[in-house]
Structure 1
Amino acid sequence: MKSKPSTTPRRSQGAAPKVVKTKRTRTRPTSAAAPRPARTQGPRRSSRLRAWGRHHRAMALDSLQRLVRTPLGNLLTMLAIAIALVLPAALWLTLDSARLLDAELEESATMTLYLDHGVSVAEAGRIDEALHANAGVISTRLIDPEEGMAEFQRSLGLEDALTGLEENPLPASIVVRPRSVEPTSMEQLAAELGELAGVEEARLDLAWVERLRHLAELGRRVALALGALFGLGVLLVVGNTIRLAVESRRREIEVVMLIGATHAFVRRPFLYSGAWYGLGGGLLAMGLLTLGNHWLSLPVAALAASYGASFSLPALDFLGSTILLSCSTLLGWLGAWLAVSRHLASIRPR
């Protein structure tokens, strides 16, 4: 029987085997993931600072707008703050003018050295030069007997009555202006100069110096006491106003605290409200002081002119205005902080 031919091709014995090329995929060895660089805190911190600044600006504007919406009631509150600030500020200005007067009187604080009757003009000049060399003396003025008699006659108006005297009974004298006007220092200097040769007596009048010191000390204590008392009044006025504002926004505060707001976040708008109250009260106090100065300046000037002196009421300068506004703003902020901190402790979100 004949066999059927095979359909599969035969490989010839001498033919080389056919090589089939396949694509190899190279696999990279897996290694541990490289560590990511740590994020810098600079951008995050700067963004937080910008957000903090934006929130402060927003709260400042929002608190100011709330005050403008009800101008009459807030103006009355600021007026109460201004009245509480006017009296301490007026006393401060009065003490400032008293310090100026004190400086003028210190320049006129002198002692008089009366020389012996037998001291000649040349010896009086040498004593005057010795006094110039003393460290506790600023200046001296030598008055001879004739000049002393002329001044005595002019001060008493007895020119005709004293012309009949045979000789001048007044000795030569030296007016000494001490470097220190403290009573103890002046007494020590007077005792030292009274021991000089040719000096008969060192006359020193400390009564007016003592009175001036006591009046200045009394004025300072009164001003400090009134300043503390009326400063407490400002705290109470602002604290009561902010307390009412907190109570009116109690529901809003509870909702904000429920979503995670901190006490500092809730406190911030009320602190700006207190600062605005204090600043407005300070501005009104400056206006009241200016009006009072203009109203009283003419009567005070007329009273001083009747005594032959020139005196004008002191006014607030740039430094005084800055101090007044800073103190009023700080008092308003502190009053608001005390009121809000006290009431936030009692608010619990439900």
Structure 2
Amino acid sequence: MSRSPAPPPRGARTHRTRSSSRFRGWLRHHRAMALDSARRLLRTPIGSLVTMLAIAIALVLPAALWLTLDSARLLDAELTESATLTAYLAPGVDDGEAGRIEEALGAQPGVARTRLITAAEGMAEFQQALGLTDALARLDDNPLPASVVVTPEAPAPDAVRELAETLGALSGVEEVRLDMAWIERLRSLAELGQRVALALAVLFGGGVLLVVGNTIRLAVESRRKEIEVITLIGATHGFVRRPFLYSGAWYGLGGGLLAWALLTLGGEWLAAPVSALAASYGASFSLPRLGAGGSATLVGCSILLGWLGAWIAVSRHLAEVKPR
């Protein structure tokens, strides 16, 4: 006959019950403080909206700059992918020899594909580009050499430079031209922009802390008597600090949502002119969007800054509030 397990000691059951009760009470107090903080903000809608708008403006500027740099990185990736080499053949090379040199270039490791431009084709393209068909047609000899456009497999600048040196050493190749300087300038400009965006983010983040901190400081001063009373009956600093922290988080949430709305509306407003400008140059370009991850990051950082600003302000001024 099996025996039923012995019940746990009464002291253990009492300890678990008390722990569960304290946890439920802690959750109830957090929920009450969050709702009370939201109600206090709604009682002063104009002041709360001004504070949230100041937070939003401080967040929009570095976020917009970062989106611009993100579009520059995408453009840099597209330009790097389309990087090509032009191998100019030696003067006097006929079309048959040029075809054999093209095959030799295409057989080199690191070459994805090649395209031969004969001397006659090069002259025709030159005439069409400059609009000097009649003047150039009077020339006795074609001064342009044949050339081979080489597309590398690896678009990395170092790999392309190494491939250019290899191709330039082949027989029949007079010169290999690679114009990567403008791409490197674009990358340097993007790197500079990233550092500027980071500096602006830190600067405006400090501005958010000051805005929220000053607002919470005024709230602490307006409730000084209440804080003194609850401190006299044994309230801890954590208990007193909690509603102000929720107020800072609400300010941050509102500021983050306003910043997201401003970025979205601004992107929609500028989308048509930017697309028209890109189309005038024969390209297709659209402004980058925040996306779900970027939106969550923006709002999350705003909430964190609001909470941190409130914590700093309350911790600083709570020590000055002494019961009398």
TM-score tier after normalising by the smaller chain length: 0.7 to 0.9
The CA distance in 1 between the partners of 2:106 and 2:152, in whole Å, is 15
Find the partner of 2:192 among 218, 223, 230.
Answer: 218
1:324 Cα offset (Å): 1.2
Q: Deviations over 1:172-209 (max 9, x none)?
A: 32222335555444333322321223322111113212
| Matched residue, 2:66 | 92
| Matched residue, 1:19 | none
RMSD between superposed Cα atoms in Å: 2.5
How has the CA–CA distance of structure 1 residues 333 and 36 changed in structure 2, closer, same or farther, with 3 Å as cutoff? closer
1:149 Cα offset (Å): 3.1
Letter paired with 1:88: P
Q: Give SS of 2:145's match.
A: coil
1:215 Cα offset (Å): 1.4
The CA distance in 2 between the partners of 1:108 and 1:55, in whole Å, is 60
Q: Give SS of 2:87's match.
A: strand
Q: Deviations over 1:233-257 (max 9, x none)?
A: 0010000000111111112112222
Letter paired with 1:141: R
Letter paired with 2:104: I
The alignment covers a number of residue pairs equal to 313
Letter paired with 2:310: A
Are 1:273 and 2:250 matched, yes or no?
A: no
The CA distance in 1 between the partners of 2:18 and 2:170, in whole Å, is 80
1 or 2, which has the higher helix percentage?
Answer: 2
Summarize the alignment of residues 191-340 of structure 1 with structure 2, pairs less than 5 Å apart.
Answer: 191-340=165-314
Q: Is the 8 A contact 1:114 1:174 kept in 2?
A: yes
The CA distance in 2 between the partners of 1:150 and 1:36, in whole Å, is 99
Structure 1 unpaired stretches of 5+: 1-34
How has the CA–CA distance of structure 1 residues 105 and 71 changed in structure 2, closer, same or farther, with 3 Å as cutoff? same
Q: Give SS of 2:151's match.
A: strand
Q: Give SS of 2:149's match.
A: strand
Larger Rg: 1
1:62 Cα offset (Å): 0.8
How has the CA–CA distance of structure 1 residues 218 and 179 changed in structure 2, closer, same or farther, with 3 Å as cutoff? farther
Letter paired with 1:69: R
The CA distance in 2 between the partners of 1:301 and 1:270, in whole Å, is 46
The CA distance in 2 between the partners of 1:124 and 1:152, in whole Å, is 23
| Matched residue, 1:150 | 124
Q: Give SS of 2:287's match.
A: coil
| Matched residue, 1:67 | 41
Letter paired with 1:155: A
1:165 Cα offset (Å): 4.7
Letter paired with 2:288: P
1:306 Cα offset (Å): 3.9
Q: Is the 8 A contact 1:140 1:176 kept in 2?
A: yes
Q: Deviations over 1:1-30 (max 9, x none)?
A: xxxxxxxxxxxxxxxxxxxxxxxxxxxxxx
Are 1:342 and 2:316 matched, yes or no?
A: yes
How has the CA–CA distance of structure 1 residues 313 and 333 changed in structure 2, closer, same or farther, with 3 Å as cutoff? same
Between 339-348 and 271-280, the greater mean CA deviation after superposition: 339-348
Q: Give SS of 2:132's match.
A: coil
TM-score (norm 2): 0.86
1:221 Cα offset (Å): 1.4
Are 1:141 and 2:115 matched, yes or no?
A: yes
Find the partner of 1:130 among 96, 107, 129.
Answer: 107
1:87 Cα offset (Å): 1.0
The CA distance in 2 between the partners of 1:139 and 1:267, in whole Å, is 67
Identity of aligned residues (%): 69
Q: Deviations over 1:102-146 (max 9, x none)?
A: 222212322211223437144224313323x33xx4443333334
Q: Give SS of 1:255's match.
A: helix
The CA distance in 1 between the partners of 2:323 and 2:283, in whole Å, is 69
